[in-house]
C-alpha cells in the first residue's frame, strides 16, 4: 500500500507542493514566534546573570503589580539598609537606585535620545568592587553631584566622550552633568537596547527621586557564609514586608518577569500563526477533495482488486502524513526567516528587540512538526472519508462523476448551528462578566468562520452569479464561461473563497476597529477637551516627562491653567485598575466632564472620582470610602468625591494629585493639558508654552488638531502592524486560489482543448481563468467584509466601556480591500492561465 | 447561373494538402504518420477518409484543421496557406473557417445546447445569422432540447448539437473525427443523415474520418489511407464496396 502512496505523491508533485506551501508558512509562523520569543528571553536572562553576578543576597519590596512583566515595586526606606548591615555574615551591604525611564540623555543637537522601546535607565553605581555591575571602558566611575557615566552604545552613537557635558531629563528639572566614564555591561555595550545613565549613590537618590530610599539592597556574604544562609538571616532581620533573595534567585525572578512579557508576545503572535494554519487547512481540504475526486476511478480500482476501505483510507491519510511532515520540516527552516521578519515588523512598530543569535529549542522543533502533521491530517480526514465511500463499481463506469454537490439540509443545519454557536460564544466573551473572555472571543470567532465556511457553498452559486453578471455581460464569452465555471462546483469555489474570507474578516475587523477608535478620539477631543494645548512625550515609548513642565506653565501669566496627568495602577478587590493622578482644579478647567454626582473640585482635599459604569459595577456612591491597594502605602480607604459620565479622556478613576504623590514612587506626567487665558492670541500663548518647554526637549506641544493627527498616525501604525501579521494568512489564501485554479485547469483540460479548437485564443483562455479567479477572490472578500463588519461592530459595542464610544464603518478602506482582492485574483490567475493557454490541443481532445 | 459557373463552384477546393508529410519523433524512433499526401477536398462535398488504425487518417485531419503542424508540404484552407500562419492566426482561422465534430466530449458541460451551438460565434464576438441559425436548428431537430445541458441529452443528441455548432458559423470546411464512433447505429444514421443534408441543402463542405463503412457510404467520395499514404479512392461509395476495398487495403 505504501508503494501506492508514494507513487500517488510523486504524480501530483505540483499541486501537492502548493498545498504543502500553506503548511510550510503556517508552521514557519509558529516556529518563528517561538524562536523570536526564546531569543528575547535568552538575551534577558544572560543579561540578568551578568547584572546579578556579584550579589549574594538582595532585598527589595514585594511587587504590588505585575502586568505582563511590568513590575511595580515601591522603594525601601534607607533605614532597612542599617538593619541589613548589622546582620552577622554581611560583609558588604549597599543600597542601589534603579529607575526606568526617568533619566533621558539629550543629544548634542538638543533632541532627546530615544530607544526603540527599551527603557532609559537611571541607576546608581555600586561603591564596592565586588558588587560592581558596570565595566569601565574609558574614564572612571562618577563620584559627585555633577558626574555621570554613559553606556558605550549611546556614547558611540551620539559622539560623546569622557569630559563632555551632557544634559539629562529627569523627574525634576533637567540638569547638566559631566561624563566621567563610558561603561558597558561585560562585553555588551548597553542593556538590551536601553540607555544607561549611572550616577553615584547620593546623586542618584537626589536626581532620580529616591530621597532616603533605595530600589534594592545588595549584599556580599562574609567568607564561610553561603548565600542561602545569609538570605535567611537577612530575611529574619528585615521582616516579612520585604523580599529577600539570593543573587541567583534574583536573576531567575527578574528573568521570569521578562518571561511573562515575552509570553504575552508569544501568545499574541501564535494567534496569528494559528489563523494562518486555519486558512491553510481550508486549502488542504480543498486540494485533497479535488485530487481525490479526480482519482475516484483509481481508488475504486484499488477497491476492485481487493483493497479494504481501511487500506484506502490509510493510503490517503498516509499521503497527508508525508505532506504534513515534509512541509513541517521545511517550515522549521522558514521559521527562522520569519523570526527575522517578525523582528523587522516589531521595529517598524517602534519596538526594537535585542539582537543575538537565534535560540532554537527542541520544544520549538517538536511543536512545529506536531502542528504541521496534525493540521494536515485533520484537514485531510473529511475528504479521505468521502473518498473511501467510493463503491468499487465506479472503476468500471464510463467517466468519473463530476462532483456537483447540492448542499443539503445537513450542511445548512450544521453550518447554521456552528455560526449560531460561534456568535453565542463571541457575545458571551465580549459582554458577559466571566473568566477567560479572550478565549471565548477567539473560539467564538473561529467557530463563526467555520460555520460561515460550511454555509458558503450555499451562497457561492447566487453570489458568483451576481458577481459574474457584469463579466458575462461585458467580458464576452470568456467572462460568461468563467462565471459558469465559478458556479459549477460551489463547494470548491466556496472553500477557496473561504480561505480568503478568514484573512479579510480579521483585516476588516481591525480596520473597522481602528476607524472606530479614531472616531471616538475625535468625539472625545471635540466634546471633552477644553485645553488649547496638549503636551506629550516626544517618544511614544517614553514613560513620561517631568511634572516641572506643568508646574512652570501654570505660573505663566498668559496661561490660565495647566495640569499633568499621571498614570498609575491600584488594586481594587484584588483586580488591577488603572487610574489617573490629576490636579483637580486645573483638570476641571481643561477637561469638560459631565458629572453625575458630587464635584470634581472636591478632590482637592483628596480622594477619588469614579466613572459611572465603574461605580455601578461596584455599587459605589459619592461619600463611600473604598479600599484601594497602592504600590506605596498599601491598602488605604479613600473617599469617593464625584461620579462622572462616560468620557474616554477621564479614564475609569481619577485620583487627587496629593494622594498620587503619596502612593507612587515616581512622578512623571504622561500628558499635560494647558489652557490659555481668554483674550490671549494663539501665537502669544503658544510662544509662552514653547518658552517653558524649551528646557524639556522630550516634550511635544500640540494643539487639538495636531494631537488628533498624532493619535491617528499611531493608530495607523498599529493597524499596519496588524496588516503585516495578517498578510501571511492572505498570502496562504492567495496560494489556495492559485492551487484551486491550477487543479481546475488540469481537470478541465478537455474542455480547454475544445475551446481552443473552436477558436478561443490563448489570451481569451487566460481571460477566462482570470475572471474565474476574480469571482472567487471577490466572493471571499465580500464574505470577509460581512463577517468582519459584524466582528468589528460587536467589538466596538463591547469596548464601549473603555472609551470606544463611536462605531465607524470605513467604507472607503473596505472597498479598497475588495478591489485589492480582485487584483489578487488577477495575479493568482497568471500561472494557471498560462498553463491553460499552453495545453496541447490535440492531446487534450484526443486522449481518453 | 451558367453551367460554367456551376462547374467552378463544384470544382473549387475547400481544403487542400500538397505533398504533406508529418513525422513524429526523431532518428531511429521517427514515425512518418503522413507521408507525402497530396489531396484536395471539393467544396459542397462530403468526403470520407478511411484506413486502418495507424494509417495516419486522424493525423491528416488534425493537420488539415490546423490543430497540428506539418513537417513539410503545404495545406490550404480555401485560398489561405497554413504554413505561414502564427499560432494566433491559426486560432482565428479555425474560428472563422473551420468547424469541428469530435468523436466524444464535444460539448461544454456547463452550457446549454443553445449556448454550445453559439459557442464559436460567441468566442469570436459575432452574432449568429438568425435565419440561418433557425434552419440549422430545425435541420438538426433539436429545437425542443435547446435549453438542456449535455448531461441531460443522449449521445446522439449531443453529437447533433456538435454538428449544429459546426454549421452555425458557416465555415469553409467542417472536419469530423469519427463522429459516430461512440454512437449506436440509429443515432449514427441520424447524425450522418444530418451531415448529408448539410452538404446537399446548405452547401457545406465536410471532411470526415471514419472506420465505419456504413458511415463512409454517406460520403460523395472516400479516400483510403495506409501507412501515411493515399492508396485508393472511390466515388459514390456504397457500404459493401467500401467494405470490400477495406479488406483489400488490409484493415
Instruction: Give the residue from A200, A224, A259 where a domain finishes.
Output: A259
Position B6 in a domain: no
Residues A246 and A105 in one domain: yes
Task: Write the ipTM.
Answer: 0.84
Query: Any bridge partners for residue A243, and if so which?
Result: A60
Q: Total structural domains in chain A?
A: 3
Mean pLDDT, chain A, rounded, equals: 86
Question: Comparing C-alpha atoms, which of B220, B228, B226 is closest to residue B247?
Answer: B226
**Of A452 and A390, more confident:** A452
The answer to whether the beta carbons of residues A276 and A446 sit under 8 Å apart is no
Summarize the confidence of residues A388-410 as an average pLDDT. 60
Q: Using the predicted structure, report yes or no on whether residue A411 has a pLDDT greater than 90.
A: no
Task: State residue A400's pLDDT score.
Answer: 44
State the Cα–Cα distance between residues B97 and B106, nearest whole angstrom.
18
**Residue A145, helix vs strand vs coil:** coil
Per the domain annotation, does A75 fall within a domain?
yes
Which of B64, B67, B155 is the best residue to mutate to test the A interface, defined by the most A CB atoms within 10 Å of its own CB? B67
Determine whether the interchain pair B92/A757 forms a contact, defined as Cβ–Cβ distance below 8 Å: no
pLDDT digits (tens, 9 = 90+) for A139-148: 999 999 999 9
pLDDT band of A65, cuts 50, 70, 90? low
Residue B108: the pLDDT is: 86
Domain with A674, as residue range(s), is 547-695
Averaged pLDDT, B36-49: 92
- In this structure, the answer to whether residues A502 and A570 fall within a common structural domain is no
Residues of chain A positioned with their CB less than 8 A from the CB of B101: none
> Is B223 part of a structural domain of the chain?
yes
Q: Is residue A726 part of a domain?
A: yes
- Percentage of residues of chain B with pLDDT beyond 70: 94
The pLDDT of residue A352 is 59
Higher pLDDT, A739 or A540: A739
The C-alpha atoms of residue A227 and residue A220 are separated, in whole angstroms, by 8
| Residues A610 and A639 both lie in one domain | yes
Residue B9 has pLDDT above 50, yes or no: no
Do A518 and A573 lie in a common domain?
Answer: no
Percent of chain A with pLDDT over 70: 93
Same domain, A193 and A128: yes
How many domains are there within chain B? 1
- Whether residues A500 and A564 share a domain: the answer is no
Q: pLDDT value at position B249? A: 66
Span A348-375, average pLDDT: 80
B58 part of a folded domain:
no
Give A-chain residues touching B94 at CB under 8 angstroms. 757-759
Rounded Cα distance, B170 and B181, in Å = 24
Mean pLDDT of A313-317: 85
Which percentage of chain A shows pLDDT scores above 90?
32
Question: In this structure, are A155 and A190 located in the same domain?
Answer: yes
Contact across the interface for A759 and B95, Cβ inside 8 Å: yes
Q: Which residue of A has its CA nearest to B165?
A: A758
B1 within domain boundaries: no
Closest CA to A255 of A418, A413, A405, A52: A52
- Does any domain span residue A357? no
Q: Is there a contact between B124 and A759 if contact means CB atoms under 8 Å apart?
A: yes
Question: Is A389 among the domain residues?
Answer: no
pLDDT digits (tens, 9 = 90+) for A692-704: 998 888 898 998 8
Q: Sorting pLDDT into bands at 50, 70 and 90, what band is A219?
A: very high
pLDDT per residue over A654-687, tens digit each?
A: 998 889 988 888 888 989 999 998 888 888 999 9
Confidence of residue A318 (pLDDT cuts 50, 70, 90): confident
Which residues of chain B neighbour A480 with C-beta distances below 8 Å?
A: 122
B87, B94, B123 member nearest A477 (Cβ)? B123
Q: Is a pLDDT exceeding 80 seen at residue A15? A: no
User: Which of B67, B107, B123 has its CB closest to that of A764?
Assistant: B123
Residue B207 in any domain: the answer is yes
Residues A514 and A570 grouped into a single domain = no
Q: Considering only CB atoms, which chain B residues are within 8 Å of A484?
A: 108, 110-111
Same domain, A514 and A564: no
Pick the most confident of A461-475, A631-645, A777-791: A777-791
Task: Lowest mean pLDDT of A41-50, A170-179, A320-329, B122-131, name the range.
Answer: A41-50
Out of B87, B109, B122, closest to residue A477 by CB? B122
| Residue A320, pLDDT above cutoff 50 | yes
Answer whether residue B215 is part of any domain: yes
In the predicted structure, residue A511 carries a pLDDT above the cut 90 = yes
Residues in A touching B98 (Cβ below 8 Å): 759
Q: What is the DSSP string of chain B?
A: --HHHHHHHHH-EEEEEEEEEEEES-GGG-EEEEEEEEEEEETT-EEEEE--TTSSHHHHHHHHTTSS--SEEEEEETTEESTT--HHHHHHHHHHHEEEE-SS--S-TTS-HHHHHHHHHHHHT----HHHHHHHHHHHT-GGGTT--GGGS-HHHHHHHHHHHHHHT--SEEEEESTTTTS-HHHHHHHHHHHHHHHHTT---EEEE-S-HHHHTTSSEEEEEETTEEEEEEES--HHHHHHHHHHHT-
Q: Using the structure block, give the residue that is written with the C-alpha cell 514585594.
A: A62
| A96 belongs to a structural domain | yes
Within 10 Å of residue A298's Cβ, how many Cβ atoms?
A: 18
Do A99 and A190 lie in one domain? The reply is: yes
Phi–psi pair at A830, nearest 5 degrees: -60, -55
Instruction: Looking at the structure, tell me whether residues A845 and A756 fall in a common domain.
Output: yes
At A589 the pLDDT is 85
pLDDT at A351 over 80: no
* CA–CA gap between residue B43 and residue A121 (Å, rounded): 96
For testing contact with chain B, the best of A471, A744, A757 (most B CBs within 10 A): A757
Domain termination residue (choose one: A238, A259, A280): A259
Question: Which CATH number belongs to the domain containing residue B190 in this structure?
Answer: 3.40.50.300
Domain end residue (candidates: A695, A727, A762): A695
pLDDT surpassing 90 at residue A163: yes
Average pLDDT over residues B15-33: 88
Contact B94 A759 (CB under 8 A): yes
In angstroms, the CA A775 to CA A789 distance is 21
pLDDT at A161 > cutoff 70? yes
What is the per-residue pLDDT for B206? 94
Give per-residue pLDDT as tens, A570-620: 888 877 888 899 888 888 888 888 888 888 888 888 899 998 888 888 899
Mean pLDDT in residue range A125-132: 88
* The predicted structure's pLDDT at residue A725: 85
- A227-255 average pLDDT score: 89
> What pLDDT, on a 0 to 100 scale, did the predictor assign at position A135?
87
* pLDDT bucket at A648, cuts 50 / 70 / 90: low
Q: Whole domain around residue B203: which residue ranges?
A: 43-53+85-249
Amino acid at each position: 500500500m505504501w508503494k501506492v502512496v508514494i507513487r500517488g505523491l510523486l504524480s501530483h508533485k505540483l499541486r501537492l507542493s502548493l498545498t504543502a506551501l500553506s503548511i510550510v508558512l503556517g508552521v514557519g509562523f509558529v516556529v518563528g514566534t517561538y524562536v523570536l520569543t526564546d531569543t528575547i528571553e535568552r538575551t534577558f536572562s544572560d543579561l540578568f546573570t551578568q547584572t546579578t553576578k556579584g550579589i549574594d543576597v538582595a532585598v527589595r519590596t514585594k511587587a504590588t503589580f505585575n502586568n505582563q512583566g511590568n513590575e511595580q515595586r515601591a522603594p525601601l526606606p534607607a533605614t532597612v539598609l542599617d538593619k541589613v548591615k548589622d546582620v552577622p555574615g554581611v560583609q558588604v551591604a549597599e543600597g542601589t537606585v534603579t529607575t526606568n525611564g526617568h533619566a533621558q540623555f539629550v543629544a548634542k543637537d538638543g533632541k532627546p535620545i530615544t530607544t526603540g522601546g527599551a527603557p532609559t535607565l537611571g541607576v546608581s553605581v555600586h561603591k564596592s568592587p565586588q558588587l560592581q555591575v558596570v565595566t569601565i571602558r574609558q574614564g572612571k566611575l562618577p563620584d559627585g553631584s555633577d558626574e555621570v557615566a554613559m553606556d558605550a552604545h549611546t556614547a558611540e552613537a551620539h559622539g560623546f566622550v569622557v569630559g563632555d557635558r551632557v544634559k539629562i531629563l529627569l523627574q525634576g528639572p533637567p540638569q547638566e552633568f559631566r561624563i566621567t566614564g563610558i561603561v558597558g555591561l561585560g562585553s555588551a555595550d548597553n542593556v538590551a537596547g536601553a540607555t544607561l545613565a549611572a550616577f553615584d549613590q547620593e546623586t542618584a537618590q537626589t536626581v532620580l527621586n529616591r530621597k532616603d530610599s533605595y530600589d534594592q539592597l545588595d549584599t556580599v556574604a562574609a567568607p564561610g557564609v553561603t548565600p542561602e544562609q545569609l538570605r535567611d538571616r537577612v530575611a529574619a532581620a528585615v521582616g516579612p514586608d520585604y523580599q529577600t533573595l539570593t543573587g541567583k534567585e534574583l536573576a531567575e525572578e527578574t528573568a521570569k518577569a521578562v518571561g511573562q512579557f515575552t509570553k504575552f508576545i508569544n501568545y499574541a503572535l501564535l494567534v496569528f500563526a494559528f489563523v494562518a494554519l486555519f486558512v491553510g487547512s481550508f486549502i488542504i481540504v480543498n486540494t485533497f477533495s479535488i485530487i481525490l475526486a479526480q482519482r475516484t476511478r483509481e481508488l475504486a480500482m484499488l477497491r476492485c482488486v481487493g483493497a479494504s476501505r481501511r487500506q484506502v483510507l490509510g493510503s490517503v491519510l498516509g499521503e497527508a502524513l508525508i505532506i504534513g511532515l515534509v512541509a513541517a520540516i521545511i517550515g522549521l527552516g522558514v521559521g527562522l526567516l520569519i523570526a527575522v521578519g517578525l523582528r523587522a515588523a516589531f521595529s517598524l512598530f517602534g519596538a526594537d528587540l535585542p539582537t543575538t543569535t537565534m535560540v532554537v529549542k527542541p520544544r520549538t522543533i517538536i511543536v512545529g512538526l506536531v502542528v504541521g502533521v496534525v493540521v494536515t491530517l485533520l484537514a485531510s480526514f473529511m475528504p479521505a472519508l468521502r473518498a473511501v465511500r467510493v463503491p468499487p463499481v465506479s472503476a468500471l463506469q464510463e467517466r468519473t462523476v463530476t462532483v456537483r454537490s447540492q448542499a443539503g439540509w445537513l450542511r445548512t443545519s450544521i453550518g447554521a448551528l456552528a455560526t449560531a454557536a460561534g456568535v453565542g460564544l463571541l457575545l458571551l466573551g465580549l459582554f458577559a462578566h466571566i473568566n477567560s473572555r479572550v478565549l471565548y472571543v477567539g473560539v467564538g470567532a473561529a467557530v463563526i468562520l467555520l460555520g460561515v465556511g460550511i454555509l458558503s457553498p450555499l451562497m457561492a452559486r447566487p453570489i458568483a452569479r451576481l458577481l459574474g453578471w457584469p463579466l458575462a455581460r461585458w467580458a464576452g464569452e470568456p467572462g460568461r464561461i468563467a462565471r459558469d465555471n465559478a458556479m459549477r462546483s460551489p463547494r470548491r469555489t466556496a472553500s477557496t473563497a473561504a480561505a480568503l474570507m478568514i484573512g479579510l474578516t480579521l483585516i476588516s475587523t481591525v480596520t473597522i476597529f481602528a476607524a472606530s477608535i479614531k472616531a471616538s478620539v475625535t468625539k472625545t477631543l471635540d466634546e471633552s477637551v477644553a485645553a488649547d494645548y496638549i503636551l506629550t512625550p516626544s517618544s511614544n515609548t517614553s514613560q513620561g516627562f517631568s511634572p516641572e513642565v506643568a508646574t512652570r506653565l501654570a505660573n505663566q501669566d498668559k496661561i490660565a491653567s495647566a495640569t499633568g496627568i499621571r498614570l498609575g495602577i491600584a488594586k481594587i478587590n484584588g483586580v488591577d485598575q488603572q487610574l489617573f493622578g490629576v490636579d483637580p482644579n486645573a483638570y476641571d478647567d481643561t477637561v469638560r466632564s459631565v458629572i453625575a454626582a458630587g464635584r470634581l473640585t472636591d478632590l482637592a482635599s483628596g480622594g477619588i472620582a469614579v466613572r459611572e459604569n465603574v461605580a455601578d459595577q461596584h455599587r459605589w456612591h459619592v461619600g463611600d470610602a473604598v479600599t484601594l491597594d497602592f504600590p506605596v502605602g498599601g491598602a488605604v480607604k479613600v473617599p469617593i468625591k464625584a461620579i462622572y459620565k462616560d468620557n474616554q479622556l477621564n479614564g475609569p478613576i481619577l485620583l487627587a494629585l496629593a494622594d498620587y504623590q503619596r502612593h507612587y514612587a515616581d512622578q512623571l506626567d504622561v500628558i499635560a493639558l494647558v489652557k490659555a487665558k481668554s483674550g490671549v492670541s494663539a501665537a502669544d500663548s503658544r510662544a509662552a508654552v514653547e518658552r517653558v518647554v524649551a528646557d524639556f526637549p522630550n516634550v511635544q506641544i500640540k494643539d487639538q488638531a495636531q494631537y488628533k493627527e498624532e493619535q491617528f498616525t499611531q493608530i495607523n501604525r498599529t493597524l499596519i502592524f496588524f496588516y503585516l501579521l495578517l498578510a501571511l494568512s492572505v498570502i496562504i489564501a492567495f496560494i489556495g486560489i492559485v492551487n484551486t485554479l491550477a487543479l481546475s485547469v488540469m481537470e478541465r483540460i478537455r474542455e480547454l482543448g475544445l475551446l481552443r479548437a473552436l477558436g478561443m485564443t490563448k489570451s481569451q483562455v487566460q481571460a477566462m481563468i482570470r475572471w474565474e479567479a476574480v469571482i472567487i477572490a471577490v466572493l471571499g472578500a465580500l464574505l470577509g467584509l460581512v463577517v468582519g463588519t459584524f466582528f468589528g461592530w460587536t467589538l466596538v459595542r463591547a469596548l464601549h466601556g473603555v472609551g470606544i464610544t463611536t462605531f465607524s464603518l470605513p467604507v472607503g478602506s473596505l472597498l479598497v480591500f475588495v478591489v485589492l482582492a480582485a487584483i489578487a485574483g488577477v495575479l493568482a490567475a497568471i500561472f494557471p492561465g498560462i498553463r491553460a493557454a499552453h495545453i496541447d490541443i490535440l492531446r487534450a481532445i484526443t486522449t481518453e | 447561373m451558367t453551367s460554367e459557373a456551376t462547374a467552378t463552384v463544384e470544382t473549387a477546393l475547400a481544403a487542400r494538402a500538397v505533398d504533406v508529410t508529418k513525422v513524429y519523433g526523431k532518428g531511429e524512433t521517427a514515425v512518418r504518420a503522413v507521408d507525402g499526401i497530396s489531396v484536395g477536398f471539393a467544396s459542397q462535398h462530403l468526403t470520407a477518409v478511411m484506413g486502418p488504425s495507424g494509417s495516419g487518417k486522424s493525423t491528416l485531419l488534425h493537420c488539415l484543421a490546423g490543430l497540428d503542424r506539418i513537417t513539410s508540404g503545404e495545406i490550404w484552407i480555401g485560398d489561405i496557406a497554413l504554413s505561414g500562419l502564427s499560432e494566433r492566426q491559426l486560432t482565428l482561422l479555425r474560428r472563422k473557417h473551420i468547424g469541428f465534430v469530435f468523436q466524444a466530449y464535444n460539448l461544454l458541460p456547463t452550457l446549454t445546447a443553445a449556448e454550445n451551438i453559439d459557442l464559436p460565434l460567441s468566442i469570436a464576438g459575432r452574432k449568429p445569422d438568425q435565419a440561418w441559425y433557425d434552419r440549422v436548428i430545425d435541420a438538426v431537430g433539436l429545437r425542443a432540447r435547446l435549453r438542456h445541458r449535455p448531461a441531460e441529452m443522449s449521445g446522439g443528441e449531443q453529437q447533433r448539437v456538435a454538428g449544429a455548432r459546426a454549421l452555425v458559423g458557416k465555415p469553409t470546411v467542417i472536419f469530423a473525427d469519427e463522429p459516430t464512433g461512440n454512437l449506436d447505429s440509429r443515432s449514427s444514421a441520424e447524425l450522418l443523415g444530418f451531415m448529408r443534408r448539410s452538404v446537399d441543402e446548405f452547401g457545406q463542405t465536410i471532411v470526415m474520418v471514419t472506420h465505419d463503412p456504413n458511415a463512409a457510404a454517406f460520403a460523395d467520395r472516400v479516400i483510403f489511407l495506409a501507412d501515411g499514404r493515399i492508396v485508393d479512392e472511390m466515388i459514390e461509395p456504397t457500404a459493401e464496396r467500401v467494405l470490400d476495398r477495406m479488406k483489400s487495403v488490409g484493415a
